[in-house]
A = this chain, B = another copy of it.
């Protein structure tokens, strides 16, 4: 960065584009693409990804807000929203669901509200998303991009899970996250009615007298049925908050990729909206996330003031990282360490296998997509043209009584051209959903190594217990507390896995049905067209 004075700097983004930027908007970030596989082989501590921020970083500025401190951030959370009435099978969930009323100090328009934010981190998303094949490659097959602020996310800090394992006081009251024992084992508390959100109606907005423009989406929650507007960067802010707060316990899937070029193109906007919808739906389905104060703020804020205040409050939340486990209260007896370790290893194995399986489907599906939109329709078109060409040669024969054949051959040729069209359009009707679902799961599964890593680190810490007591680093009571809390973490992980499984069964059942249904229609349509073409030939 090159300061040119007057509060402006010359900046270059990851694509090498150079431009003038207000000094205040600059954040020095080190964003790293990490291979999920290699991450698993790394010690949990090093999974933490560093993001050093300078003094102008809006995040650190908020962090330094003196009004934050140790205030209980759930204070304004209306009664009942965090407490499920029952503990049924986690799917389909039943809901709580009333909008929250937010109050708090008014805040002036902050520096955050700028389109530049949409662009600043593009470097972390190396893959192009141009064209329809690019859209499928989202997330690629090797890397999950993550950025976690060291100073904002104690759960992934160097200190590791002992912050929770050894902390003195646990959260009480409204912030409790009970873990029930359902038919399938530990389960989150599910609301009676599931929250649902519609993301729709993308509109181009502008500010600074038209100098900056952006896309705004309408988000309408089923609870209030009152739409709120959000830009991509607002979703990103929400993602950051959820990752900070719940990431140690719950895999928070990344948002659809950021993109600078072509982000106002209709196709891109449509695709991004579809993916934001998918992300929102998944968040809504999660009982812990959907009932969290920050999520409720996002979907039901009343006005600008409400939103700004809620944001500041959320950013001051200190029950983040591993501390989220301090709010969890399993109703079942403590598990011993061997059981905890076995469960953790089982989940680790499963998520790794599923990650492989999902990636295989994505690879195969991507190949199939390319074939269905490239060489295959081209071939059917050539077959169609060849029939029609031969037919027009026949027409030129001068031989009488030829027209029955030539008409039928022309029709057959046109049918193959129509089939070419059908083949090329089909992937959007079926493969698209299969790919999107698997892509979502790839993203979700890419979060598990981090989440599981926190658990493994905790297990290791508990195993060190005797040594630590012997070295007088902790007391005997601390050791007992650590074991109990590792058990709580295990219940949380099991509840989360059960949530994952029930969603997975639902999602794959649905997407496979949809895929096969569309495939049946596709082949039936072709068969019908060909039957029609066949009928035009005269029987001799």
A residues bordering B, Cβ < 8 Å?
A: 92, 183-184, 346, 349-350, 353-354, 356-358, 360-361, 364-365, 367-368, 371, 375-376, 379, 382-383, 385-387, 389-390, 393-394, 396-402, 404-405, 408-409, 412, 497-498, 501-502, 504-506, 508-510, 512-513, 516-517, 519-520, 523-524, 526-527, 530-531, 533-534, 537-540
CB closest residue in chain B, given A511: B537
Tell me the number of copies of this protein. 2
Q: Report the bound CA distance from A530 to B402 in whole Å.
A: 40
B524 touches A527 (CB 8 A): yes
Quick check: B183 and A400 within 8 Å, CB to CB?
yes
Provide the residues of chain B in CB contact with A354, threshold 8 Å.
Answer: 390, 393-394
Q: Which residues of B contact A409 (CB under 8 A)?
A: 508, 512
Contact A396 B353 (CB under 8 A): yes
Are A501 and B397 interface neighbours, CB within 8 A?
Answer: yes
A527 partner residues in chain B, CB cutoff 8 A: 520, 523-524, 527
Find out whether the CB atom of A386 lies under 8 angstroms from the CB atom of B357: yes
Contact among B383, B390, B506 with A358 in the assembled complex (CB-CB below 8 Å):
B390
Give the residues in chain B near A501, CB-CB below 8 Å: 397, 399, 402
What is the CA–CA distance of A371 and B358 in the complex, to the nearest angstrom? 26
| B361–A505 CB distance below 8 A | no
Report yes or no: A506 in contact with B540, Cβ–Cβ below 8 A. Answer: yes
Interchain CB contact (< 8 A) of A350 among B398, B502, B513: B398
CB distance from A496 to the nearest CB of B (A): 12
Jot down 21 A-B pairs with beta carbons below 8 A, ordered by A.
A184-B399, A350-B393, A350-B397, A350-B398, A364-B379, A364-B386, A367-B382, A368-B379, A394-B505, A394-B508, A408-B509, A412-B516, A509-B540, A516-B531, A516-B534, A519-B530, A520-B534, A523-B523, A523-B526, A523-B527, A524-B527
Contacts of A505 in B (CB 8 A): 394, 399, 401-402, 405
- Is there an interface contact between A371 and B361, defined as CB atoms closer than 8 Å? no
The 8 closest A-B pairs by CB, nearest first: A523-B527, A516-B534, A399-B501, A357-B390, A357-B393, A353-B393, A524-B527, A361-B386
**Roughly how many angstroms separate A505 CA and B391 CA in the complex, as a whole number?**
11
A390-B405 contact, Cβ under 8 Å, with A183-B400, A509-B537: no
Q: Which residues of B contact A349 (CB under 8 A)?
A: 396
Rounded to whole angstroms, the CA-CA distance of A401 and B346 in the bound complex is 18
Is the Cβ of B412 less than 8 Å from the Cβ of A512? yes
Q: In the assembled complex, how far is the CB of residue A505 from the closest CB belonging to chain B, in whole angstroms?
A: 5
Q: How far is the CB of A537 from chain B (nearest CB, A)?
A: 5
Which residue in chain B gives the minimum CB-CB distance to A362? B386
B residues less than 8 Å from A367 (CB atoms): 379, 382
Q: How far is the CB of A351 from chain B (nearest CB, A)?
A: 10
Inter-chain CA distance A539–B396, complex, in Å, is 57
* B346 adjacent to A361 (CB under 8 Å): no
Contacts of A530 in B (CB 8 A): 516, 519-520, 523
Residue contact A364 to B382, C-beta cutoff 8 Å: yes
Instruction: Verify B390–A498 contact, CB threshold 8 A.
Output: no
Decide yes or no: A508 and B353 within 8 Å by CB, A520-B527, A530-B519 being known contacts: no
Give the chain B neighbours of A375 by CB distance below 8 A: 371
Closest to A382 in B: B364
Given the interface pairs A376-B371, A524-B527, A527-B520, the reply to whether A534 lies near B513 with Cβ below 8 Å is yes
Which chain B positions have C-beta within 8 A of A534?
Answer: 513, 516-517, 520
- Additional A-B contacts beyond A353-B393, A524-B527 (15; CB < 8 A): A354-B390, A357-B390, A365-B386, A371-B375, A394-B504, A397-B501, A399-B497, A399-B498, A399-B501, A405-B505, A509-B540, A513-B537, A513-B539, A519-B530, A523-B524
Q: How far apart are the CA atoms of A360 and B396 in the complex, in Å?
A: 17
B residues in contact with A365, CB < 8 Å: 383, 386
Within the complex, the shortest CB–CB distance from A504 to chain B, in Å, comes to 8
> Taking A383-B368, A523-B530 as contacts, is the C-beta distance between A400 and B184 under 8 angstroms?
yes
Contact status A512-B526, CB under 8 Å: no
The reply to whether B523 and A537 form a contact with Cβ atoms under 8 Å apart is: no
A513 neighbours in B (Cβ, 8 Å): 534, 537, 539
Q: Which residues of B contact A361 (CB under 8 A)?
A: 386-387, 390
Is there contact, CB below 8 Å, between B364 and A408? Answer: no
Complex CA distance for A379 and B533, rounded to whole angstroms:
28
Are A389 and B360 interface neighbours, CB within 8 A?
yes
Quick check: A540 and B350 within 8 Å, CB to CB? no
Write out the residue numbers on chain B whose beta carbons fall within 8 Å of the beta carbon of A510.
540
Given A376-B371, A505-B401, A534-B517, A512 contacting B408 (CB threshold 8 A): yes
Shortest Cβ distance from residue A340 to the other chain B in the assembled complex, whole angstroms: 15
Q: Could you tell me the distance between the alpha carbons of A386 and B534 in the complex, rounded to whole angstroms?
A: 36
Q: Which residues of B contact A368 (CB under 8 A)?
A: 379, 383
Minimal Cβ-Cβ distance residue in B for A183:
B400
Which chain B positions have C-beta within 8 A of A353?
A: 393, 396
